[in-house]
């Protein structure tokens, strides 16, 4: 639900998508097909993500502005800031979706990407999918803040927590 809601806040014909490996619904909304996903799962040369060379769920598809994902988590955050800067310099009115997990939000690239984007007022929406675990590590061992959305205060940008399972 959170992924569909987030994706449909964007212009799916113009905006950029920097997903992480859980964003199957997001990349389908941005135009990837079930066949594209299966070509990846079976490591076929026609796979748009990586020509069958990456693990499944490392999404990327130039035609739908889904930017190739690296395996090190959260590297997409500085990439999203860079695309935002390029768009701002070109007066290109696009928005950029970038997401990661809550465990990955404790990695350095997370801070650097959001800090750069907020200082330069770049058109990026950063999303954290909080499923309360990073593999076997519970949220209580990952961060001391009450709400991860409160981090936005430190960057000088708006931050909201939403219930990703609210179907209403």
Token representation of residue 145: 């803040």
Placement of tokens 């190739």 in the chain: 68
Which positions from 19 to 38 touch ligand TPP by CB under 6 A, shown as an x/- string? ---x----------------
When asked if residue 131 is in the footprint of Mg ion (CB under 5 A), the reply is: yes
Look-up of token digits 């690239």? 109
Nearer to ligand TPP, 56 or 103 (CB): 103
Q: CA quadruple 153, 105, 54, 9: dihedral positive or negative?
A: negative
Nearer to ligand TPP, 54 or 100 (CB): 100
- Looking at beta carbons only, is 5 or 72 nearer to ligand TPP? 72
C-beta nearest to ligand TPP: residue: 101
Characterize the bridge pairing of strands 137-138 and 133-134.
Answer: antiparallel
x-marked contacts with ligand TPP along 95-114 as a string, rule CB under 6 A:
-----xxxxx--x-------
Comparing CB distances to ligand TPP, the nearer of 84 and 103 is 103
40 burial level (CB within 10 Å; 0-12, 13-18, 19+): buried
State yes or no: residue 123 binds Mg ion (CB under 5 A): no
Q: What is the spatial distance between Cα 42 and Cα 165, in angstroms, rounded to a whole number?
A: 31
CB of 99 to ligand TPP, least distance (A): 9
Q: How many CB atoms lie within 10 A of CB 126?
A: 26
Nearest to 110 by CA among 140, 68, 81: 81
Return residues touching ligand TPP (CB under 6 A): 22, 71-73, 100-104, 107, 129, 131, 133-135
């Amino acid at each position: 639900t959170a992924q569909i809601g987030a994706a449909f806040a964007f212009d799916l014909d113009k905006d950029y998508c920097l997903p992480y490996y859980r964003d199957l619904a997001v990349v389908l909304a941005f135009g990837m097909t079930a066949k594209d996903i299966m070509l990846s799962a079976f490591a076929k040369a026609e796979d748009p993500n990586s020509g069958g060379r990456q693990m499944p769920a490392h999404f990327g598809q130039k035609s739908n502005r889904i930017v190739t994902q690296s395996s090190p988590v959260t590297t997409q955050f500085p990439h999203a800031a860079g695309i935002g800067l390029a768009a701002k310099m070109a007066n290109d009115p696009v928005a950029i979706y970038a997401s990661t997990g809550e465990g990955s939000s404790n990695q350095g690239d997370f801070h650097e990407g959001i800090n750069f984007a907020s200082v330069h007022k770049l058109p990026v929406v950063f999303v954290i999918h909080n499923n309360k675990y990073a593999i076997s590590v519970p949220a209580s061992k990952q961060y001391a803040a009450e709400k991860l959305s409160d981090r936005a205060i430190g960057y000088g940008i708006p931050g909201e927590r939403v219930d990703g399972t609210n179907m209403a």
